[in-house]
Amino acid sequence: MNKNTENKNTAEISPEAYLEELVSIKLFRDGGRYRDNVYVAVNGQNCIIKRGEWVKVKRKFAMVLDASEIQDMKTAQMIEAEEEKFRTAEAKLA
């Protein structure tokens, strides 16, 4: 199969089929906060993903986990920025 055929096949896939494709993921696992399996739900469909092992899940579930991780990082950055503002304001009062 040549490159043009591969691109054509990829372009022809429906959004629904794309979201249903299986992808491999591995969720971080430790002995503390990140030890339990993860429940993920998308539009009434759900799955439980085991931590610490490579598993295949539908792309839509992996995308939800990615979005959640990005949101967690943005939240941590915002908290750090607000803490720095507080420390600066507190130092001005001292």
Gap between the Cα atoms of 62 and 26, Å rounded: 10
Contacts of 73 (CB under 8 A, 6+ apart): none
pLDDT in tens, the chain (94 residues): 444 444 556 668 999 999 999 999 999 999 899 999 999 999 999 999 999 999 999 999 999 999 999 999 999 999 999 999 999 999 999 7
pTM value? 0.75
Gap between the Cα atoms of 27 and 87, Å rounded: 35
Tell me which residue has tokens 């429906």: 14
